[in-house]
Amino acid sequence: MRFALRLISIPLLAIVLVACQIGPTDRPVPSVSQIGSDLKCSVGDHAFEDAQAGWGFCYPGTWKYNERANQSASPSGLDLTFDITDVPCASPSPVQGQPTPRPICSPGAGLFAFMIISTYDRGGAPSLAAWAQSNLDKKLTLEPIQWGNAIEGGRLSDGRRVALTPQHVIMLDLRAGFGNLDLEGAMSARLGTWKFLI
């Protein structure tokens, strides 16, 4: 019986030793590109990129969002809507022997807003003004702005922003009422992070 136990325990010991060996520390490179990995976001910001719509941008790292896609009728295009909430306080991990750490809250914790990013076909329009003239209310005026790497950027008199890219026109519509998340302040400060892909 002892001999049989020894005979079984030797291969079992070898298997355990092999299983406990430290493997290579190099991590494999992901085969799927990471969302927004090519955007230059500030520390604490996160990146969002939609390659199909043809754009990406940085947003505050404390935001959580629910995204929905809808077709728009006039002008014809794609609307991506974002229900945004500034996440409530985060609790740091406790350190043994230390008192429980206090939660860390962002100034707008729990506040919310709504954002619509519309992507329309440029349709051969030679300029942003020409596209706006043929697709939007004629009463709207357009003030030129810098917006990421857009060919042309503008702010409409109703507050929406529009960008002309080689193939598309992108419209940013920020909606937040009094006392809600300061979406205007956060997104206008990050207009330079936008990258238009097509």
Confidence (pLDDT) at 176: 86
The pLDDT tens digits of the residues spanning 64-79 come to: 999 999 887 777 789 9
CA distance 184 to 187: 5
Domain range list for the chain: 34-91+101-196
Regarding predicted confidence, which is higher, 175 or 33?
A: 175
- pLDDT bin (cut points 50, 70, 90) of residue 8 is low
Domain 34-91+101-196 has CATH 3.40.50: no
Query: CB-hemisphere CA count at 13 Å for 191?
Result: 21
User: What residues are paired with 154 via a beta bridge?
Assistant: 144, 162
How many helices (H) and strands (E) the chain has is answered by 3, 10
Any idea what DSSP says for residue 74? T
**Would you say 87 and 44 are in contact if contact means Cβ atoms under 8 Å apart?**
no
Question: pTM higher than 0.85, yes or no?
Answer: no
Instruction: Band the pLDDT of 9: cuts 50, 70, 90.
Output: low
pLDDT at 175: 93
Tell me the pairing of strands 152-156 and 142-145: antiparallel
